[in-house]
A and B are shown apart, each in its own frame.
Chain A
Amino acid sequence: MKDFILPDRDFGTPAAKSKTMVSLVIDGFEVTVPEGTSIMRAAAEIGIQVPKLCATDSIDAFGSCRLCLVEIEGRNGTPASCTTPVAPGLKVTTQNAKLAKLRKGVMELYISDHPLDCLTCSANGDCELQDMAGAVGLRDVRYEAVENHFQPRQNGEANPLYIPKDNSNPYFSYDPAKCIVCSRCVRACEEVQGTFALTISGRGFDSRVSAGLKSDTFLTSDCVSCGACVQACPTGTLQEKSVIELGTPQREVITTCAYCGVGCQFKAEMRGDELVRMTPYKHGKANRGHSCVKGRFAYGYASHSDRILSPMIRDSINDPWKEVSWAEAMEFAANRMKGIIDTHGRHSVGVITSSRCTNEETYLVQKLTRAVFRNNNTDTCARVCHSPTGYGLGQTFGTSAGTQDFDSVEHADVIMVIGANPHSGHPVFASRMKKRLRKGAKLIVIDPRRTETVQGAHYKAAHHLALTPGTNVAVVSALAHVIVTEGLFDEDFIRNRCDWDEFQAYAEFISQPQFSPEAVQLLTGVKAEEVRGAARLYAKGGNGAIYYGLGVTEHSQGSTTVIGIANLAMLTGNVGRPGVGVNPLRGQNNVQGSCDMGSFPHELPGYRHVKGEAVRDIYREVWGVEIDNEPGLRIPNMLDAAVEGTFKGLYCQGEDILQSDPDTKHVAAGLAAMDCVIVHDLFLNETANYAHVFFPGSTFLEKDGTFTNAERRINRVRKVMAPRQGYADWEVTQMFANAMGAEWGYTHPAQIMEEIALTTPSFAGVTYEKLETMGSIQWPCNEKSPEGTPLMHVDGFVRGKGRFINTEYVATDERTGPRFPLLLTTGRILSQYNVGAQTRRTANVVWHDQDILEIHPHDAEQRGIKEGDWVKLASRSGETALRATITDRVNPGVVYTTFHHPDTQANVVTTDFSDWATNCPEYKVTAVQVALSNGPTEWQEEYNAQAAKSRRIAAE
């Protein structure tokens, strides 16, 4: 195990961005720093730590504690070094008798109003107040404060200044007695997180930190539990409960969050083999020291009692599970799979790779089907989320990935968010975006629902196009129509970078009157003027950046919308420099990676179609087998083939298709028709109800590997503890492959990466050594760009000329009618993740313990529905019941829910319509009816009974 002790010093104030350099002398040493740097930071650059309390380098200096005083030759007084910028030729003294005396005085004041129970304080050894007392040489406190705020009782009476601990947040506690009112927490919540949940109330000696209103606790306030304030707090006032319980950590390992596609890096702080806390890593290039509640706190599922630690098998899905040894499980699984292949041929089996597992693991799973089963039947859950991204961007730009890094948002002037709610789905990116919005960038949101992203503290979208679900293409085309017909396009860019003839054909197409905002107004429900305003702003407002999510892709025209988005960026020249671009916000942590690694049935790693002979040759050479030249089955096709009887065996790693895929009943029927379903996961998930073999999985804390985030950034995942069930997931896949006759001999994921680099041009330059030194790499990384590629398409598109493609709006077949008059759209919330298998097994449930249906007051009234009522949600596919909440976040005619809880089974309701190009399911539009009900439906009860029966494990 390797520990990473990179210098992680606190420089006191943020880095200045100026290109102009300034030289000065501090304590006799010369130092040169960018203009705008504070004296404190300049000193820190040369290793001189000026004592400080209220400054930290994640937030702007505030200058309240007066501990960081310095003397400057020729200037009066003792300015605070955190708020005083450098100037050419300054001569600064940071330490002399006078400064020492002043500092001691400041410290004395602080300490006199602070409990002196350091020995038993949970922050002992991890407290800046303690450090500073030492640093300034404080030896005694000459006076006792008449009034203090830390004693519950004073002079025999209750102390009115004393505020008891607030333990309402499940992950951290707030102990006002220890607070020194430095306001670092308040500023972190504002500047870093952008929530503005904390305030300082009162003045002077009486001033206190509070979350929300006086009557609020952290839990009832606006706090989203991102942990930024805890990170910023110099004392034990705001502290992780895990530290209070387990003690301060001893060592740290840098790793990557396994939740969403932002790919935040963390320090896993350990005591022995126990994880004490996860803190965001300052040098993580995706998160720059920030985190959200999931990555920071919600890792408890790793040690949850539901985790299965022993392999299990059973003959039939009606039997209880039998725990067996790994060897026995492998033999059983391999015999069944071999039997199926012998009887039904090599095309009757396949695999599903996971967007939650590492690149190396995914690579092995697709290799299993291609090299051992000898077919291309591999697919991944990315099918159900971002496959249209691959298709749409591949067709227009030539590569299936986002164009920018996250830093790019700092240079955007107009940010267009389409079908995504970063506030909930990609919170750390949202914080970075909001920071930019508070500095004046403009926001356009295209979403049926008034999401949390539309409006927040100190910003509001300039345009919110609240379209009718299913009309994305009409809206995106209308935007393009305005840009073309009003002459807002960037002719130079188009002439240089795109095919001019194709542009002209496209311009003629999109200029037709039926695409105008006025013509589609009734259909989309968006006022023409709003569309025109948004188009003008995006085209002419400076750097325009588009971020989009599942609200774009999960539609029957998902690929067309992605193409439409790419058209918009090309029309306006918003490609190829910082601050612009087209950026898919990936759902799960390794969606990008699982696509890169050849999880799709038609392409080998690196997006190379299996029909290409040259590509197949590469793998024939390395793997020693002939690669099938026909595309394989996608998940929905596998299920269809299973129902039909030609697909019989499946190895499913780290995915829960029964819960995550649409039309649950069809998925269940497909799974039930198979002879061998192998589920490889942490928990007995819903899919496992139909499995014959269960391989227990390992968590991201228990293995080495890499994840690739939405910026194409390859981040290292590092093993911080031994796998609880014995093996990392890549080892399990290898054991199974070997039981099937493969002779794989990988001993470390680094070797798998070597093979990936050897066979995949865009990964040619990636090695674990390089990842160690660079921290992370954005692909393509090869001879041409050995350090990776932060921005794509800078001088030309990957495919050469950018290609405009016509985007005809085709109404989805899913339409409302008298039986199903409402449109259901789905989404997610901040504290839960995907199907919730992990987050439901953490304290995050305090924020979301069930899925809830949002319905407009008008629709609710018509149906006699009141807040909190049980309602039945029915579509042509099925029905489910859940509780309703009444809100005008949704328009009349639209209802909304999340799909985090298996009890709700929202996907019983979704249909099997899908994207025309990729079969990505149409989650985002389903015609439904809503009516009052008394509780769970029959299906939910039957389902739960079946699930309970299926989860039985036979006693020894």
Chain B
Amino acid sequence: MSHDTETLSPHAKLVTMANQIAKFMESKPHKEGLEGLSNHINDFWEPRMRRHLFELLDAGGQGLRPLVIEAASLIRRPAA
């Protein structure tokens, strides 16, 4: 893996973070993992971060692991 970018852009950072959570949750039974992931994001991500996440999801979720995309409906969409 090369690290040519200096620091990650906000969206790229959220993709990394969401995928990191997904990787932890993937070792659980599927349903538990889905809930684990969405609860985690609901509990710890400030609305601004969730808003950015939905921008990504709404645009097709490129780069996000399948578990994140699948959990989208369980993640609280912040008030606009």
List A residues at the B interface (Cβ < 8 Å): 347, 376-377, 505, 509, 556-557, 559-560, 601-602, 609, 611, 630-634, 637, 640-641, 643-644, 646, 663, 665-666, 806-808, 810, 813, 815, 817, 819-820, 876-877, 911-914, 916-919, 927
Interface residues of B in 1-25 (CB under 8 A from A): 1-8, 10, 13, 16-17, 20-21, 23-24
B46: nearest chain-A partner, CB-CB: A633
Cβ–Cβ contact A633 & B6, under 8 A: no
CA distance A634 to B13 in the complex (A): 14
CA distance A893 to B16 in the complex (A): 26
Chain B residues with CB below 8 A from A376, complex form: 46
The one of B6, B7, B23, B44 that contacts A631, using a Cβ cutoff of 8 Å: B44
The one of A347, A560, A641 that contacts B24, using a Cβ cutoff of 8 Å: A560
Cβ–Cβ contact B78 & A912, under 8 A: no
Cβ–Cβ contact A817 & B20, under 8 A: no
Instruction: Give 6 CB contacts A-B under 8 Å.
Output: A631-B44, A640-B10, A807-B27, A808-B24, A877-B6, A916-B17
CB proximity of B67 to chain A, nearest CB, Å: 13
Chain A residues with CB below 8 A from B13, complex form: 640, 912
The one of B7, B10, B23, B47 that contacts A630, using a Cβ cutoff of 8 Å: B47
CB of B49 closer than 8 Å to a CB of A: yes
The one of A509, A630, A663, A813 that contacts B1, using a Cβ cutoff of 8 Å: A813
A818: nearest chain-B partner, CB-CB: B2
Cβ–Cβ contact A808 & B7, under 8 A: no
Chain B residues with CB below 8 A from A641, complex form: 48
Interface 1/0s, chain B 21-41, versus A by CB < 8 A? 101101111000000000010
The one of A509, A609, A637 that contacts B27, using a Cβ cutoff of 8 Å: A509
Chain A residues with CB below 8 A from B26, complex form: 808
CB proximity of B26 to chain A, nearest CB, Å: 7
CB proximity of B44 to chain A, nearest CB, Å: 6
CB proximity of B70 to chain A, nearest CB, Å: 18
The count of chain B contact residues (Cβ–Cβ below 8 Å) is 30
The secondary-structure label for the interface of chain A is loop
Chain B residues with CB below 8 A from A817, complex form: 1-2
CB proximity of A73 to chain B, nearest CB, Å: 73
Q: Known interface pairs A611-B43, A806-B28. Does A916 touch B10 (Cβ–Cβ under 8 Å)?
A: no
CB proximity of A373 to chain B, nearest CB, Å: 14
CA distance A719 to B42 in the complex (A): 43
Cβ–Cβ contact B1 & A632, under 8 A: no
Chain B residues with CB below 8 A from A807, complex form: 27
List B residues at the A interface (Cβ < 8 Å): 1-8, 10, 13, 16-17, 20-21, 23-24, 26-29, 40, 42-49, 78
The count of A-to-B residue pairs whose CB atoms sit within 8 angstroms is 82
CA distance A166 to B75 in the complex (A): 68
CA distance A806 to B24 in the complex (A): 9
Highest count of chain B CB atoms <10 Å: which of A376, A609, A640, A820: A640
Chain B residues with CB below 8 A from A637, complex form: 46, 48-49
Chain A residues with CB below 8 A from B47, complex form: 347, 630
The one of B16, B17, B43, B49 that contacts A609, using a Cβ cutoff of 8 Å: B43
CA distance A637 to B6 in the complex (A): 17
Cβ–Cβ contact A815 & B46, under 8 A: no
B29: nearest chain-A partner, CB-CB: A505
CA distance A766 to B17 in the complex (A): 39
The 7 tightest CB contacts between A and B, nearest first, are A916-B20, A876-B3, A808-B27, A806-B27, A810-B23, A633-B46, A666-B7
Cβ–Cβ contact B43 & A916, under 8 A: no
CA distance A953 to B1 in the complex (A): 47
CA distance A810 to B44 in the complex (A): 21
Chain B residues with CB below 8 A from A509, complex form: 27
The one of A556, A602, A643 that contacts B44, using a Cβ cutoff of 8 Å: A602
Cβ–Cβ contact B21 & A916, under 8 A: yes
Chain A residues with CB below 8 A from B8, complex form: 912
CA distance A632 to B46 in the complex (A): 5
CA distance A666 to B13 in the complex (A): 13
- Extra contacts besides A876-B3, A876-B5, A917-B24 (15): CB < 8 Å: A347-B48, A560-B24, A601-B46, A602-B43, A631-B45, A631-B46, A637-B48, A806-B28, A808-B26, A877-B6, A877-B7, A912-B7, A912-B8, A912-B13, A916-B24
Cβ–Cβ contact B4 & A810, under 8 A: no
CB proximity of A907 to chain B, nearest CB, Å: 13
Chain A residues with CB below 8 A from B7, complex form: 663, 665-666, 877, 912
B40: nearest chain-A partner, CB-CB: A917
The one of B16, B28, B48 that contacts A633, using a Cβ cutoff of 8 Å: B48
Highest count of chain A CB atoms <10 Å: which of B1, B28, B40, B46: B46
Cβ–Cβ contact B48 & A646, under 8 A: yes
Cβ–Cβ contact B24 & A644, under 8 A: no
B3: nearest chain-A partner, CB-CB: A876
CA distance A666 to B28 in the complex (A): 34
Cβ–Cβ contact A630 & B78, under 8 A: yes
Chain B residues with CB below 8 A from A556, complex form: 20
Cβ–Cβ contact A919 & B17, under 8 A: yes
CB proximity of A288 to chain B, nearest CB, Å: 39
A632: nearest chain-B partner, CB-CB: B46
CA distance A911 to B1 in the complex (A): 15
Chain A residues with CB below 8 A from B17, complex form: 914, 916, 919
CB proximity of B53 to chain A, nearest CB, Å: 12
Chain A residues with CB below 8 A from B46, complex form: 376-377, 601, 630-634, 637
Q: Known interface pairs A640-B13, A810-B24, A877-B6. Does A631 touch B43 (Cβ–Cβ under 8 Å)?
A: yes
